[in-house]
Homo-oligomer: A and B are copies of this chain.
Amino acid sequence: MNKISKAVVTRLPRYYRYLDELRQQNVERISSKELSKLMNVTASQIRQDLNNFGGFGQQGYGYNVQYLYDEIGKLLGLDVKHKMIIVGAGNLGQAIANYGNFRNRGFEIAALFDKNPDLIGKKTAHGQILDIADIYDYVKKHNVEIVALTLPKGPAKRIAQKLVECGVKAFWNFAHTDLSFSDDIIVENVHLSESLMKLTYRISEKNDSKE
């Protein structure tokens, strides 16, 4: 299979979301043209994107919603369980832990870790808050696939480095820093402040053009 471009991968979850809604509305089939109208993209792009992964549709018919939904789900790895731990049990960490749909999509929040003694031992809806000091033993013992980093950048960098040495292969990074490891370590960044700056850029841009 050819290397799939980053742009295509970014669009897959959005297709998945729209197909889920259609599925819930009991829509059985949809053409690239109809879907393109719904999603505000070109039909051509939808067909190109999907054909990166092989033919999911049928000439003259379109795409079967449930089938396409399932296939994209498999591409996104949502057909298998993913064990995740959360490092940093502040508001953001707990927000992620408590997001109900994750469980439905095959994510298991195995534990949260924090250094704050007031939080350690506390039970949340999804897993107990454990002492950050025990995290390395924990990941060596349990089969942790994803580590969400919801703590300040200094400790995030340091702890992530040690976790890589313990065998962790994938990070969901909310710390305001770039983590760079070797190529086989996957890092997906969510930089909230940068998202907000994109917003204020657009506000400024609009205000400037009015003057």
Contacts and interface: CB of A to CB of B under 8 A. Distances in A.
A172 interface: yes
Given A76-B200, A78-B200, A201-B76, A190 B188 contact: no
A196 B91 CA distance: 18
B198 A188 contact: yes
Interface string A120-132: 0000000000000
A90 interface: yes
Contact of A75 (B12, B188, B204): B204
This chain: copies in complex: 2
A184 interface: yes
16 contacts: A9-B198, A12-B198, A13-B193, A14-B194, A75-B201, A76-B204, A77-B197, A78-B197, A91-B92, A91-B95, A92-B95, A170-B199, A172-B196, A184-B206, A186-B199, A190-B192
Interface of A: 4, 9-10, 12-14, 16-17, 40, 74-78, 80, 82, 90-92, 94-96, 98-99, 101-102, 105, 107, 145-146, 169-170, 172, 176, 178, 180, 184, 186, 188, 190-206
